[in-house]
Amino acid sequence: MMLDTLFYYISEFFPVLICLLPFFLVLTAYSVCKKKEKVSWRYLGMRYLWTAYLIFVLFITGAADLLYTLQHPLYFRISDMAVNLIPFVDFLTDPGQYFANILLFVPFGLLFPLVGPKRNLFSTFLWGIGFSFSIELLQMFSLRTPDLNDLLMNGFGVLLGYLLFVLIRKIRIHFKAHRADFSGSKWTTLVSFLFAYAFLFLYDFLKLLMFSKAFD
């Protein structure tokens, strides 16, 4: 069941991935021209993979559902907002969602040390928890239920991903493999998160606009 859900989201995300490519290439070309620096295709590929991953997490967690709330404000009431602060409240009845939230953030712990401003565990975990918290906060206004368990499992996924990063790095050092530099500044990292949010909101807005015009 979990694999079927994952394949469903991947198939739904594929059009988003295609639309992302021209936006990413334009922004990259602008950045290269502004800094007057040459960048490798490996660097661009890693940056595209990182950006696509962030957007996929926002997509699968329903971050853009906020647009539906804005379009139908009558469905949203402050009194209906619910937040779960009880750890592992439904672990025995629905353990799949716990493992899904862990797996969703394993790539974060693996990729962030490569593209972020620092490679240490503290920085990776802090950015990962911050990203997860922003999603949970946004879900309060997206007709979803923010859950402490999601935050805990996402954090655990970041830790597992970082351990995987350390393991791969040790293997590469052992075999004396070439180390590529994909890291960016704090500003570049922050912009990548903001761009992911902005792009998904724009994509969903245009999709809703086209959908509404098709039925006018």
Q: Which position has the higher pLDDT, 154 or 44? A: 154
Q: Which amino acid is at 172?
A: R
Identify the band that residue 91 occupies on the pLDDT scale cut at 50, 70 and 90: confident
Can you give the residue ranges of every domain in the chain? Answer: 2-214
Identify the band that residue 153 occupies on the pLDDT scale cut at 50, 70 and 90: very high
Q: Which two tokens stand for residue 80?
A: 């209906």
pTM: 0.87
CA distance 13 to 65: 15
Q: Which two tokens stand for residue 17?
A: 């991935």
pLDDT tens for each residue of 92-111: 777 888 998 999 999 999 99
Q: Which two tokens stand for residue 163?
A: 């351990």
3-state SS assignment for residue 59? helix
CA distance 153 to 26: 35
Q: Which position has the higher pLDDT, 140 or 16? A: 16
Q: What is the pLDDT of residue 79?
A: 43
| Phi, psi angles (nearest 5°) of residue 39 | -125, 150
Average pLDDT for 41-53:
88
Cα-based angle 43, 46, 49 (whole degrees, multiple of 5):
150
Identify the band that residue 144 occupies on the pLDDT scale cut at 50, 70 and 90: confident
Identify the band that residue 77 occupies on the pLDDT scale cut at 50, 70 and 90: low
Most confident of 15-24, 42-51, 121-130: 121-130
Q: What is the pLDDT of residue 70?
A: 61
Q: Which position has the higher pLDDT, 164 or 203? A: 164
Q: What is the pLDDT of residue 146?
A: 82
Place of tokens 């997490």: 57
